Structure 1
């Protein structure tokens, strides 16, 4: 029997994958006829999104506003003249009415169009309006690749101000037509309630849309879900998600500022729950429900994962939050459970994946920077949130980085680049062993971006342990802090890999898409 269906589509390239995405595959036209009801017609208030696109695979996401059955049409044609229809999971209150569909065996180097529609579970004859999205699949051969990264959305009191144009940087990013986007964390600010009005220093008034879930800190599962839903209320975010698949990470504000698993809060804003372990469990569930992220069958709660994007690029999205020890003085001289940051299991995974990678470029997408000092207690500067702990020989959490960097050097793993966010300004760093206290590593670059739509801060102090040299930085002047998005200091990074030369060009950009700094990296080729 031919693999080609009567619609001209390769059946094997459209197979629903995983339990969360299992469903019925049908040829276009066999699905129940599209009909409209009135009273029970499900809506799709937050649009659609795609993510975790890797060789042959992708995850599709959407949500209804009522109990409904998810159906997805998939095609390589924008007009869907040839397509197949997949039955996805039900959207129920138990998942915040969200639903995800994993698709596998996609053809390489193609633009895939998908159309999501919901069929009411209360009135089987009633259908919602279809919503269309698209994404590019990774190439099978060396080809041009463009992707973006940044972090920090709706933080420090700056929410959706429709009079200003909403979260405008998402529209700026959409216009660059990237193949995918890495959100490096702080995808929401569950600990950052919004006020309806904020008076700026110049006397102007910033006006936020405020929902019940954004009027207080998130404690319940529904409140965490509501934080993710809030960002999707923005038209710029929805338009971006329609066209750009994402790789999403998390950091602290998905739960609460600077959290670690064993923490118990002493914060009067949290009236119902002080256990960070319980808060982060609810946050993690909402994170998986409200994003197009694929779960690991072996470890469903794991956020770190790898993406193969053709012969020129592998992306390793890591998690510096879930496995860390308590934030403290960070000054231990020997490795122990108290110095965990990545955690031993993740470090082993990252080593194995880097060693196995045949891609020209190995990009480590990190939710926190390496050599920039981030204090847990900014008043006393005695406890640390990040691995950097001040000048000198490696101590505390830096010991895990020593292990990783030494492994990369010993195994001659070439062309490793770090991309990160977190600190709310943009910068380019070169880590030079000749200027470092610890020198047993190969030099590498780290590029920092953000915020996307949050307060701007910086610059941070640098730690000389691994010899970071600041090549460029853009941040508020004169000690100003928490500048609003309207100040213009919102940032994202753009990476262009040339399919012929294999060079990687990294450009740091601002709110309106102006290029602030560009660095072109030439790949090293092993003999």
Structure 2
């Protein structure tokens, strides 16, 4: 990201915004009802597509396309530099990046009620195909995005590659990982939460060393503040490039609202939202800003403080992805949310998913005929004892704090004979690979699946390969086979024979330009649950 004196008057130029890869042309936006008058002849102080374009949730016949009109993304009123008028936006999808073969086009309104974001659900596309898309507003053209549809449900897909990312505190590191991800050959990217961080930011933007207005530094509580926080995290050429290159499947964790929040419970002592009704208003503002800034389909549009984010995506006969929301429906953390081994975590009936989502997951796993059943979610499922030797201590925000819920999940996987269960996880800020045991306290217990945990994109700054925390995890947990505390992401490749995960790492993120490498790789074989070095 270019260095500049004040982010409330951004100076990224047109060359920076129109990122490499593709021609420019007409674009697309989701329409919505609005009381605002139409802006018949819009003119902009700067490029209206400063936050780029994105696509998401690939289906066999289409995807959702996203952009947001924001010529001044960090305008302090949260408007993105747009007036309170609705603007007609055109969209176009083509089979080629020069747009010689346009296959779908249309128009919709960007409305001020949704921060002039647009969400277009395009249908009628061919399965398992690469497409290019773009937006236009009164002759001004957006960047060209690339996307790819999912295979047909009956297709025998030979191979699938995708990435897994999470945790990207803007003020703790540069988004170099996303620039590398943009250059990978991927069908889709799964983002497993903490897309923004709600922490108070220093006047110099942490490691970014740029001046921030007090309104941007402040911890967010209302819609304007959450819009500013999203704009800050999105207004970066590397993350723009990753969204432009690949479709994303998004789900939140805690920092999109507040650290370790649960249902209608705020965890920040002494703050003004400790009353559940006040916190619900804060959560509603955060959910709306989340929807406005990301390529999400209509079911994810918030209804007050609630949004439906769990869903299922199928990639032919090769893989079913059961995307979970482990934050919105769970019971409160046990033991005062302290790392411990208290009895409360064993209370029968404790839930991470809530009864409706649990039922949905179990039925989907049982009905699946795919070779791989992949469960992208937010918090470690595997047992994570944090202290080697005598005694045990568990993080209450992980599934360890909800042992009965984990026991139910593992029993369902075993009893329904679920094929090749693979859990994908974020949150930990470290890479990790683990066998999932039916009984973690019995080393000889049956292995019912594997878990791959993605480290952070930037959170916790540079890190190191094997820190003391990682040594403790390996010493205390025989089923954990690997961990690294460097920054990066997962690159997963699966076929009918095996599921391979490459742990991609960067040596530093506190300055831009880091190279990327694969620290190690693990595979799990079809019909043979458990990890093996690749």
TM-score by length of 1: 0.77
Change in Cα spacing, 1:288 to 1:434, as seen in structure 2 (3 Å) is closer
Change in Cα spacing, 1:454 to 1:187, as seen in structure 2 (3 Å) is same
Distance in 2, Cα, partners of 1:427 & 1:357: 27
Distance in 2, Cα, partners of 1:358 & 1:404: 18
In the TM superposition, what is the alpha-carbon distance from 1:106 to its structure 2 partner? Answer: 1.8
Find the partner of 1:318 among 319, 324, 331: 324
Find the partner of 1:225 among 213, 227, 245: 227
- Are 1:191 and 1:255, in contact at CA under 8 Å, matched by a contact in 2? no
- Are 2:30 and 2:109, in contact at CA under 8 Å, matched by a contact in 1? no
Q: Which stretch of structure 1 is more off in the superposition, 73-82 or 264-273? A: 264-273
- Are 2:430 and 2:455, in contact at CA under 8 Å, matched by a contact in 1? yes
Does residue 447 of the first structure (1) align with residue 447 of the second (2)? no
Alignment-derived partner of residue 216 in structure 1: 218
Distance in 1, Cα, partners of 2:242 & 2:132: 15
Distance in 2, Cα, partners of 1:213 & 1:353: 44
Equivalent positions of 1:34-183 (< 5 A) are 38=43, 43-65=48-70, 66=82, 67-84=86-103, 86-118=105-137, 126-139=138-151, 140-154=155-169, 157-158=171-172, 166-183=174-191
Distance in 2, Cα, partners of 1:56 & 1:439: 45
Distance in 1, Cα, partners of 2:48 & 2:105: 19
Distance in 1, Cα, partners of 2:414 & 2:502: 26
Alignment-derived partner of residue 479 in structure 2: 469
In the TM superposition, what is the alpha-carbon distance from 1:84 to its structure 2 partner? Answer: 4.4
Change in Cα spacing, 1:502 to 1:45, as seen in structure 2 (3 Å) is same
Distance in 2, Cα, partners of 1:184 & 1:383: 19
Find the partner of 1:335 among 348, 352, 355: 348
| Unaligned residue ranges in structure 1 (runs of 5+) | 1-16, 24-34, 119-125, 160-165, 199-204, 376-380, 390-396, 476-488
Alignment-derived partner of residue 432 in structure 1: 437
Distance in 1, Cα, partners of 2:113 & 2:301: 23
Secondary structure in structure 2 of the residue aligned to 1:101:
strand
In the TM superposition, what is the alpha-carbon distance from 1:41 to its structure 2 partner? Answer: 8.6
Distance in 1, Cα, partners of 2:343 & 2:289: 34
Distance in 1, Cα, partners of 2:395 & 2:526: 38
Distance in 1, Cα, partners of 2:271 & 2:130: 47
Equivalent positions of 1:111-510 (< 5 A) are 111-118=130-137, 126-139=138-151, 140-154=155-169, 157-158=171-172, 166-196=174-204, 198=206, 206-208=208-210, 210=212, 214-264=216-266, 267=269, 275-296=278-299, 301-329=307-335, 331-332=343-344, 333-336=346-349, 339-371=350-382, 373=384, 384-389=396-401, 397-433=402-438, 436-437=441-442, 442-455=447-460, 459=469, 469-475=479-485, 489-498=486-495, 501-510=496-505
Secondary structure in structure 2 of the residue aligned to 1:367:
coil
In the TM superposition, what is the alpha-carbon distance from 1:311 to its structure 2 partner? Answer: 1.6
- Aligned residues: CA RMSD: 3.4
- Are 1:76 and 1:82, in contact at CA under 8 Å, matched by a contact in 2? yes
Q: Which stretch of structure 1 is more off in the superposition, 322-331 or 175-184? A: 322-331
Change in Cα spacing, 1:216 to 1:75, as seen in structure 2 (3 Å) is same
Change in Cα spacing, 1:387 to 1:42, as seen in structure 2 (3 Å) is same
Distance in 2, Cα, partners of 1:468 & 1:316: 27
In the TM superposition, what is the alpha-carbon distance from 1:40 to its structure 2 partner? Answer: 8.3
Equivalent positions of 1:508-519 (< 5 A) are 508-511=503-506, 512-519=515-522
Find the partner of 1:524 among 522, 527, 530: 527
Distance in 2, Cα, partners of 1:298 & 1:246: 16
Secondary structure in structure 1 of the residue aligned to 2:230:
helix
Change in Cα spacing, 1:265 to 1:298, as seen in structure 2 (3 Å) is closer
Distance in 1, Cα, partners of 2:116 & 2:275: 25
In the TM superposition, what is the alpha-carbon distance from 1:328 to its structure 2 partner? Answer: 2.4
| Unaligned residue ranges in structure 2 (runs of 5+) | 1-27, 34-39, 71-81, 336-341, 387-392, 507-514, 530-534
Deviations 1:393-421 (A, max 9, x none): xxxx1111111111111111110101111
Alignment-derived partner of residue 26 in structure 1: none
Deviations 1:21-72 (A, max 9, x none): 689xxxxxxxxxxx99756897111110000112223110001133421211
Deviations 1:223-275 (A, max 9, x none): 11222221221001111111111011111100111111232455456599983
- Are 1:321 and 1:341, in contact at CA under 8 Å, matched by a contact in 2? yes
In the TM superposition, what is the alpha-carbon distance from 1:334 to its structure 2 partner? Answer: 4.3
Secondary structure in structure 2 of the residue aligned to 1:354:
helix
- Are 1:371 and 1:468, in contact at CA under 8 Å, matched by a contact in 2? no
- Are 1:194 and 1:208, in contact at CA under 8 Å, matched by a contact in 2? no
Secondary structure in structure 2 of the residue aligned to 1:296:
helix
Alignment-derived partner of residue 12 in structure 1: none
Distance in 2, Cα, partners of 1:374 & 1:48: 42
Alignment-derived partner of residue 122 in structure 1: none
Q: Tell me the matched-pair count.
A: 449
Distance in 1, Cα, partners of 2:88 & 2:41: 14
Change in Cα spacing, 1:438 to 1:96, as seen in structure 2 (3 Å) is farther
Change in Cα spacing, 1:85 to 1:197, as seen in structure 2 (3 Å) is closer
- Are 1:431 and 1:469, in contact at CA under 8 Å, matched by a contact in 2? yes
